Amino acid sequence: MKLHPKISEFRKSVGYDTVRKSRVVSGSEFDLSKREAKDKDERTLRQYFCIWGVKDDYGTMPIKGCFSKSIKERGPNTDAPYKITALYMHNLRDSVGLPVVLEEDEIGLYAEVPILKGIQVCDELVIRHKAGVCNNGSYGFEYIWDKMEYDEDADAIIMKECNLKEISFVTLGSQDVTYGVRGASLIDESLQRETEEFIKSIPQKHRLEMRGLISRYISLAQNEPPKKNLKALGNGKPKKGAIDYNFLTNNF
């Protein structure tokens, strides 16, 4: 199958081999407590991990049905030896549980995950999610190139199917809308807007990496005592006339 030039260009930018990427939804625009939980245990976290029809940083747009094959083959109600797993910050070492609910609805990809007990990162996730400081969702997947189409009106690459590998609870998102179950937002809104504007100003190929770095720094800041959070800038100065990514990543 011959790919649309826009898709071929995108494939070249991310690599010809099918690689796992992540897409994120952020914020707390809707109160999903109105949706009745199938699992009402206090450690079961409810979350949307993808929203339909919203372009991400790469200009791709997932639509309803793109995860259906993966869920049918490796979802909660299957006997697959490797099921779709919930992670923390896309870290394969930090699996936090297996979804008991994983389904597509009219909004996006919804899941309910009973979080494991007796593991530090899992206990921390429950606290952060309920406090609203880590209630964003993301997903890891493999592209299926012949299941992607370019939409000229939306100027987006429509993802009709992908190979869903995992879902992740994260701090910072890349889609412009959000559907965290718990709506508390402890992040200053103006700072959040400035951060989003900065991320959109850098080249697309660096945006997801920058979001990941910021999320990791936020996570570290929440764990470390205040004194350890203080860091003096290096003696060097950022380059003039362009964003100096090395200076940013080395000093923040």
Q: What is the per-residue pLDDT for 218?
A: 61
Check the CA dihedral 24-27-30-31 and report its sign: positive
Range scoring the smallest mean pLDDT among 45-54, 178-187, 222-231: 178-187
**Residue indicated by tokens 């030039």:** 5
Mean pLDDT of the region 199-210: 70
β-strand partners of 234: none
Q: Give the residue-averaged pLDDT of 181-201.
A: 55
- pLDDT confidence band for 5 (50 / 70 / 90): confident
**Residue 75's pLDDT band (boundaries 50, 70, 90)?**
very high
Higher pLDDT, 129 or 179: 129
Q: SS3 letters for the chain?
A: CCCCHHHHHHHHHHCCCCCEEEEEECCECCCHHHCCCCCCCCCEEEEEEEECCCCCCCCEEECCCCCHHHHHHHCCCCCCCCCCEEEECCEEEEEEECCCEEEECCCEEEEEEECCCCCHHHHHHHHHHHHCCCCEEEEEEEECHHHEEEECCCCEEEECCEEEEEEEEECCCCCCCCEECCCCCCCCHHHHHHHHHHHHHCCHHHHHHHHHHHHHHHHHHHHCCHHHHCCCCCCCCCCCCCCCHHHHHHHC
Tell me the average pLDDT of the chain: 76
Instruction: Look at 59-68, 197-206, 208-217 and tell me which has the smallest mean pLDDT.
Output: 208-217
Confidence label for 227 from pLDDT (cuts 50, 70 and 90): very low
Q: Pick the residue with more confidence: 247 or 64?
A: 64
pLDDT category, 45, cuts 50, 70, 90?
Answer: very high
Give per-residue pLDDT as tens, 77-120: 999 999 999 999 888 899 999 999 999 998 899 999 999 999 99
Q: Does residue 36 have a pLDDT over 80?
A: no
- At residue 161, does pLDDT exceed 90? yes
Alpha carbon distance, N-terminus to C-terminus of the chain? 45
